[in-house]
Structure 1
Amino acid sequence: MAEASLRSAAPWRTFRWHKGQKHYSGTYWAATMQDHVIYESRLELARLLFADFDPSVRDIVAQPFLLKVVVEGRVRKHIPDYFLVTEHGPVVVDVKPRRRLEQPVVASTFEWTRRVVESRGWRYEVWSEPPETELENVRFLAGYRRDWLFSRELLQEVRRAALDGVTLRDAARCVPGCEEERVRAAIHHLLWKNELRVELTCPLRPSTVLRRSA
């Protein structure tokens, strides 16, 4: 199974809809892919947001393949949630609430999945609930992820401004003659693109200090 072929893989299964279902399915437009990526729970959507925000991620593939192995004489099957192509190598991701990780079936499935994935030299990740404040910040910045909504000229003006160590409140005034709302939106876009950065473990406020990415 070549990494290149997985980049264009269609999801192994389609959405399962039924009355009273407990999971939350949908599609998310990922800036990384310039296309929609599916998810089957709010927790999967949260992982998608973090993957889309991560500058090292090049491709995001949902439900990329079916694993089928024999474990202790029994055939086991599992479809991982995401396959990420990153600048550091492929990452196979399973998303599961933390409260379920101790369940024997879940723990066993993830154990043999890890062995199979790592045998290929790939990284395996089990992802659970992120810190709430960090998730809220990334979710907020995702609203500014669409490149075509921002003037290239304005973005260049903001990039040229001396913003390192400046608060968000003051940074919005960095382009004379331009509405602060537009400048603030451009700053949020550059935060999404990781050209600027802030401390994401604290709520974003006007007093939040900007830093330039290394």
Structure 2
Amino acid sequence: MGKRERLGRPLLDCVSVRFEDARPVRPFRWPPGGRYFPGWYWAATTRQHVGFESWLERDRLVLMDFDPAVVGVASQPFWLHWHDGTRERRHAPDFFLRRADGSAMVVDVRADDCIAPRDAEAFEVTRRACAEAGWGFERVGTPETVLLANVRWLSRYRHPRCRQHPVAARLMEISSQPGPLMAGADSVGDRLATLPVLFHLLWQQELSAEGMAVELLGPRTVVRLAGGGAGWRRRGGGFRRLPGSWSSPRRLLTRPVGGRGTSWRYCMVCRRMLPKGRCRGRSSTPGCTRWPNASGPRRPS
């Protein structure tokens, strides 16, 4: 496959371009001993992989995917060229977002204490260029810790296969009256079957949980029907355990068996809750005949 064609055009001629569908203008690299951790995140909003160059970018990408106002996202969609009075400069913004109202937003991700003068100049030039094009611009840093932990937990259940329609309908009915998260899951059926569906509805924002930004999700978290409902929009899949205290969401998947705690996991291949290590169809089990890449399965992000 040949090199991709690159076209240089004036900024105002690019206003109507759908940059949310663009491929990254530069490759993501994994150098040995590198300081950053690049990778790919499967966005439920677009059903496509979106690249990131650091864990901070990944965290922001998860929050963008959770935002119901975002309908399109792409990483490093274009190069912005300018002359700083001494030499030619260029900058590739981290993300381009398309919102449901048709507006566009360019996002650069950098922690507040990691902005060098050269980077600050690039962000300011990008801000002015976006204003000229009629786009929004935002430089974001480290997100709120508790909110991020909760959203990352829910993102493990973003895939449509977590939605079992009879269970989802019953959970929506029960949640019309606010109540504790675990009590609502138990009232519908076996929590090992109902919790993944409940978390998926929270990700979809068809259900809402109180205090998402101030405390970790737990058995006593109050869950209610979201006002107006967020609709069926989000897609994607993945599961990963989150570290945390006794109130961490991972405790919701621990079930006492024979007087001892047995850790359970939701298998994205078998679509069942099974004891950890006992599922031959788990995506993290090498040689699984039900996984497309049996020789070396990839863990979902």
TM-score clears 0.5 = yes
The structure with higher relative contact order (CA 8 Å, sep 6+) is 1
Correspondence 1:22 to 2:52: no
For 1:164 and 1:59, the matched residues in 2 are separated by: 33
The counterpart of 2:54, out of the listed 5, 18, 41, is: 41
Q: Residues 65 and 197 (structure 1 numbering): CA distance in 2 closer, same or farther, change over 3 Å?
A: same
Match of 1:143 in 2: 156
For 2:175 and 2:66, the matched residues in 1 are separated by: 24
Correspondence 1:80 to 2:77: no
More helix by share: 1
Match of 2:104 in 1: 90
Match of 1:194 in 2: 205
- 2:197 maps to a residue whose letter is A
For 1:105 and 1:179, the matched residues in 2 are separated by: 56
Paired residues of 2:172 and 2:225 also in contact (CA < 8 A): no
Query: Deviation of residue 73 (structure 1)?
Result: 5.3
Normalised to the residue count of structure 1, the TM-score between the two structures is: 0.92
- 1:13 maps to a residue whose letter is R
Query: Deviation of residue 130 (structure 1)?
Result: 0.6
Match of 1:61 in 2: 74
Query: Deviation of residue 169 (structure 1)?
Result: 1.7
Paired residues of 2:162 and 2:197 also in contact (CA < 8 A): no
Paired residues of 1:100 and 1:106 also in contact (CA < 8 A): no
1:12 aligns to what SS in structure 2? coil
The counterpart of 2:195, out of the listed 184, 188, 193, is: 184
Query: Deviation of residue 168 (structure 1)?
Result: 0.5
Query: Deviation of residue 125 (structure 1)?
Result: 0.9
Unpaired segments ≥5 residues, structure 1: none
For 1:5 and 1:142, the matched residues in 2 are separated by: 26
- 1:200 maps to a residue whose letter is M
For 1:151 and 1:4, the matched residues in 2 are separated by: 38
Match of 1:128 in 2: 141
RMSD after superposition:
1.5
Paired residues of 2:150 and 2:212 also in contact (CA < 8 A): yes
Normalised to the residue count of structure 2, the TM-score between the two structures is: 0.67
Which has the higher Rg, Structure 1 or Structure 2?
2
Query: Deviation of residue 4 (structure 1)?
Result: 4.6
